């Protein structure tokens, strides 16, 4: 669709971006941010979310792998440079189907080659990589982890499945938090010490975050 009608795709994305920008981090995001504060370099967040709310809640960009990209960023659709560009807030649309002025359209052109920029989001039929989506980093950390907490994913994309399989191979304890049954539930209950919470993520994550050591406790 982007190849057929980039402007239409941008209008849709800028509306979605406006929705994300106005959203606020919830108790689940805040609990995950407090886990990183407590666990420091023993913590990594691999997220399928593209709304940047984890970073806004306080997780660090270094320890947050946004494996499906970030809707607030763009890059050259012709890959003339690898650079990511932050989209100006003036472009965030408040309404659906809002058409873009010529000036706004110019802001969506690559600064170098003038081709269309594209949203920095992994689309269906595109591949994960390390440079943009931290694929290798996610695999490496999954292979070493002792505890994998899976929150609210249905497992319909490949990377979360790879992460779970690698953690399982490392004999990690796997915890699944999801109000709905999903492919990870059975894997979790069969992992060493693993369990399933059929309750809202915000509630369970707060309780788990409260079990983490206080930030003053240094790593052994
Ligand atoms: Zn370019």
Does the pLDDT of residue 209 top 70, yes or no?
A: yes
Distance between CA atoms of residues 76 and 114, nearest Å: 9
- Which residues lie at CB < 5 A from ion ligand 1? 76, 80, 110, 112-113, 115
Average pLDDT over residues 96-125: 93
Does the pLDDT of residue 98 top 90, yes or no?
A: no
- CATH fold, domain 26-49+60-66+128-211, is Rossmann fold (3.40.50)
Band of pLDDT at residue 218, cut at 50, 70 and 90: low
Of 196, 141, 204, 157, nearest to 174 (Cα)?
196
Report the separation in Å between the CA atom of 105 and the middle of ligand 1, taken as the mean of its atom positions: 15
Report the separation in Å between the CA atom of 132 and the middle of ligand 1, taken as the mean of its atom positions: 16
| Secondary structure of residue 23 in the 3-state scheme | coil
pLDDT at 219: 53
Report residue 124: phi and psi, to 5°. Answer: -55, 145
| Secondary structure of residue 119 in the 3-state scheme | strand
Does the pLDDT of residue 217 top 80, yes or no?
A: no
Report the separation in Å between the CA atom of 47 and the middle of ligand 1, taken as the mean of its atom positions: 28
Which tens digit of pLDDT belongs to each residue from 39-87? 999 999 999 999 999 999 999 999 999 999 999 999 999 999 999 999 9
Active site residue 68: yes
96 CA to centre of own chain: 24
Report the separation in Å between the CA atom of 143 and the middle of ligand 1, taken as the mean of its atom positions: 36
């Amino acid at each position: 669709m982007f190849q057929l009608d980039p402007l239409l795709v941008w209008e849709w994305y800028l509306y979605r971006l406006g929705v994300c920008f106005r959203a606020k981090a919830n108790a689940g995001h805040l609990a995950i941010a407090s886990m990183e504060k407590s666990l420091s370099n023993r913590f990594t967040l691999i997220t399928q979310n593209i709304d940047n709310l984890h970073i806004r809640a306080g997780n660090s960009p270094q320890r947050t792998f946004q494996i499906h990209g970030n809707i607030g960023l763009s890059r050259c659709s012709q890959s003339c440079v690898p650079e990511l560009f932050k989209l100006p807030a003036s472009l965030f649309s408040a309404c659906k189907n809002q058409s873009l002025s010529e000036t706004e359209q110019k802001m969506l052109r690559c600064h170098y080659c003038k081709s269309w920029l594209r949203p920095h989001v992994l689309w269906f039929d595109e591949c994960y990589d390390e440079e943009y989506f931290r694929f290798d980093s996610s695999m490496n950390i999954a292979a070493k982890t002792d505890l994998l907490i899976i929150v609210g994913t249905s497992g319909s994309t490949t990377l979360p499945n790879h992460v779970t399989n690698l953690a399982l191979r490392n004999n990690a304890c796997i915890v699944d938090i999801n109000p709905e049954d999903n492919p990870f539930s059975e894997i979790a209950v069969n992992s060493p010490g693993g369990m399933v919470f059929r309750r809202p993520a915000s509630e369970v994550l707060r309780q788990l975050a409260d079990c983490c050591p206080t930030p003053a406790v240094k790593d052994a």
